[in-house]
Amino acid sequence: MKKGIIILICLMIGLTASMAGAEKGVTSMLESGPDIFTFSLVGDCCIGDHAQHYGAKGGYLHKIKQAGFDYPFSLVADLFAADDLTVANCETTITEKKKARNGIMFPMVAPPEYAEVLKLGNVDVCNLANNHCLRDFGKKGGADTAEALDAQGIGWFYDANNYSVEVKGVKVGFVGYTYPMNEDKLKKYVKQMEQLRAEGCTFVVASAHWGTEPTRNKSNGKEYQLDGNQKYGVKLIDAGFDMVYGHGSHTCQMIRWYKGKVIFYGLSNFTFGADATPRDDDTLVAQISFDIHEDGTMTPREMCAIPFKMHNKSDYRPYPIQDEAAKQQVWEKLYYNGYPKHKASPAPSLPESFLTTGYVDFRTLPVVEE
């Protein structure tokens, strides 16, 4: 498929039928084939309620109980079914427990059966290394979450619990930790990566829950800057990871092309029951494809950043953006333009055309040894 056609399709990919009429989701138009591997990546997914509002009318659990477990991902389920791996950050403790640990300000929880929301959304793998899933309800809550995902056939990983899966002859591994990021944490990442390599993984993803959450008194121009934790995106690539999958700031943050690899600093929230009315409801599905080589290694091929809103009138269901200006607002947040307060490339690493298309052909980009 010619580059110009792909760019045109990426411009059109966010179109969907009226929310009030016959609804359709989005369809991937990245090239596919036996030698191409495609990931779909989304950010934080809270498939439950704040514990103090558990089951409240108008809340996530109540809404999905009425609309069905397939509802939250209904506009992206087909898209995710067509890729090779869909990855999400599970920001919810999935457990029968309803009383959180003392001192937890915003505990997020869903009963075990709600893990089916992820399954019906065609989510394949979940990061559990975040400040809620393994903390809000203690070790038991974390174990319950893993058990609930196991029951749905969904992979999961956190800390020293790696995950690997073989697709199209490529063994892909995942390592995940949450903030704070520091040199000791980096050593843990590397140890787990080396273990996965020894087990035959030829492509290893570093998942990182990090990033400063914006406050209501910050200007838009500063909300999307990276923080000190995220300087480790570059260090993770330098350490040998093949891609960095970042989340945690609840906002769209920059995407960087670095030494022939991709760093997603922050993919915002996606479906998020703990906040029905976010101040910034921009989000995205990042679809990225790779060329598969004979030895099982992969190199970046193409990417489409598909702009979404997190909900329509507090219904918790992400939907693709139709308005061109609103799409470009998302792409501007993702356009890497340097790293404030830390040494990094001062120049954008994505082509300027990304600002109006959300598309990148990595095969045309130089691999700069920075």
Residues 162, 61, 310: CA angle, nearest 5 degrees:
70
Return the DSSP state at 212: P
pLDDT under 70: residue ranges of the chain:
1-24, 215-225, 337-348, 368-370
Q: By the 8 A CB rule, do 128 and 142 touch?
A: yes
CB contact set of 222 (below 8 Å; sequence gap of 6+): none
Four-residue CA torsion sign, 57, 60, 62, 68? positive
Is the omega angle on the peptide bond into residue 180 within 30 degrees of 0, that is, cis? yes
Domain 3-364 classified CATH 3.60.21.10? yes
Return the DSSP state at 245: E
- Which residue ranges make up each domain of the chain? 3-364
37 vs 55: CA distance, rounded Å: 39
Return the DSSP state at 114: G
Q: Give the HSE-up count for residue 269: Cα atoms under 13 Å, Cβ half-sphere.
A: 26
pLDDT tens-digit map of 24-49: 678 887 999 999 999 999 999 999 99
pLDDT for position 222 = 55
pLDDT tens-digit map of 89-134: 999 999 999 889 887 888 999 999 999 999 999 999 999 999 999 8
**Beta strands of the chain (E only): which ranges?**
36-46, 49-50, 85-90, 93-94, 108-110, 125-127, 155-157, 163-167, 170-178, 203-209, 243-247, 255-258, 261-264, 269-272, 282-292, 298-309, 319-320, 359-361
> What three-state secondary structure class fits 7?
helix
With b meaning 16 or more CB within 10 Å and e meaning fewer, what string describes 78-92?
ebbebbbbbbbbbbb
pLDDT for position 2 = 36
pLDDT for position 165 = 98
Locus of tokens 């190199």: 299
Locus of tokens 């990148």: 360
pTM over 0.85: yes
pLDDT for position 170 = 98
